[in-house]
Amino acid sequence: EQIEKGGYDHFMLKEIYEQPRAILDTFRGRLRTNEAIIKMSGVEDNMKKFLNADRIIVVACGTSWHAGLVSEYIFEDLARIPVEVEYASEFRYRNPVITEKDLVIAISQSGETADTLAAIKLAKSKGAFVFGVCNVVGSSIARETDAGAYTHAGPEIGVASTKAFTTQITVLTLIALRLARAKGTISSSDYRHHLIELELIPSKVEKVLKSDDYVKTIANIYKDVKNFLYLGRGYNFPVALEGALKLKEISYIHAEGYPAAEMKHGPIALIDENMPIVVIATKKGHYDKVVSNIQEIKSRKGKIIGIVTEGDQQVKELADHVIEVPETLESLSPLVTTIPLQLLSYHIAVMLNKNVDQPRNLAKSVTVE
């Protein structure tokens, strides 16, 4: 097992560090920046189905559901296709409205999650076209779907999902860009810009990983608190949810993710000097509005950990700590902002002596209801 961990203390840390390579493997051969094309056979072979779809319904569970939420922003923003993101467990029992004009995208790392599999079967029985985004080749979901695209993240052993999440977002971004180009909802210059920026993501993730020691010092300061709040807006709202989930899963500290602007409708009541709040406040994502949320937190003495764009000044002045991430397009920012949140939960769990790779009560893949 030590050999499999490749010198890392835990699989989770190894998998966090594998992300630059995993993301690269995910777009290798598919993202052809020089030719300005994206090629994914599962999409090309079924282009008519994609273009004729009235809407996309994403079904998934856990972290994969969070990747689905990120894709809602990408598909709607770039390809102008309405998207609904569903917990597979709710969708399957709700008697949902599904038609032949629906495109269902099922996201699953393992490809074995029982609820997601059942949601796929239901959607197929109603005539929808079902596309899978899976990591495990030949898995049940990969076989059950009409077509799909693998994430090529390599085996993920840590129960808390890391590289599966970022590679799922990568695949979904590629699909959204391909559709946006086919539909003409993106200009050719904007499209090219996206391809160039996407290609730079692995090196930017590499750069974020260099903040590991600093994240560790922050983990040491807050490891004994009972509650954490995570806030983000737009593309980074699902990242806030995912950051909170990671902390809950492996450190057993209660954490909530919230859209930053919703803070005033509830969570603000929780804020006092004992509450650390992770705020994703990168430059392009409604920056000024998030800064005013940070001011509200500060005036209530909450402890602010800001995830900011390199060179940021404003948040730096207000926050107790800032972790910088390289600048990228807003639509690609979840791929970099997620990384420090993974590291933060990892270090807290290690410091608390928790079983990072196999947290209590959780399973890597949930094959029963």
Q: Which of 246, 194, 253, 190 is nearest to 27 (CA)?
A: 194
Residue 338 interacts with ligand G6P (CB under 6 A): yes or no: no
Nearer to ligand G6P, 257 or 285 (CB): 257
CA distance 253 to 275: 12
Residue 114 interacts with ligand G6P (CB under 6 A): yes or no: no
Residue 366 interacts with ligand G6P (CB under 6 A): yes or no: yes
Per-residue interface string for the shown chain with ligand G6P, residues 23-62, x marking contact by CB under 6 A: --------------------------------------xx
Q: Which of 85, 159, 240, 325 binds ligand G6P (CB under 6 A)?
A: 159
CA distance 321 to 197: 27
Q: Which of 19, 326, 35 is nearest to 196 (CA)?
A: 35
**Torsions phi, psi for 17 (to 5 deg):** -75, -20
Residue 113 interacts with ligand G6P (CB under 6 A): yes or no: yes
Q: Which of 19, 26, 116, 162 binds ligand G6P (CB under 6 A)?
A: 116
Chain position carrying tokens 């949930």: 366
Residue 268 interacts with ligand G6P (CB under 6 A): yes or no: no
Q: Measure CA 352 to chain center.
A: 25
CA distance 191 to 186: 6
Alpha helices in 138-236 (DSSP H): 140-144, 163-183, 188-209, 212-222
Q: Which two tokens stand for residue 72?
A: 């809602």
Q: Which of 109, 151, 309, 337 binds ligand G6P (CB under 6 A)?
A: 109
Residue 364 interacts with ligand G6P (CB under 6 A): yes or no: yes
Residue 148 interacts with ligand G6P (CB under 6 A): yes or no: no
For this structure, is 364 an active site residue?
Answer: yes
Residue 170 interacts with ligand G6P (CB under 6 A): yes or no: no
Active-site residue numbers?
Answer: 364
Contacting positions for ligand G6P (CB under 6 A): 61-64, 108-110, 113, 116, 159-161, 362, 364-366
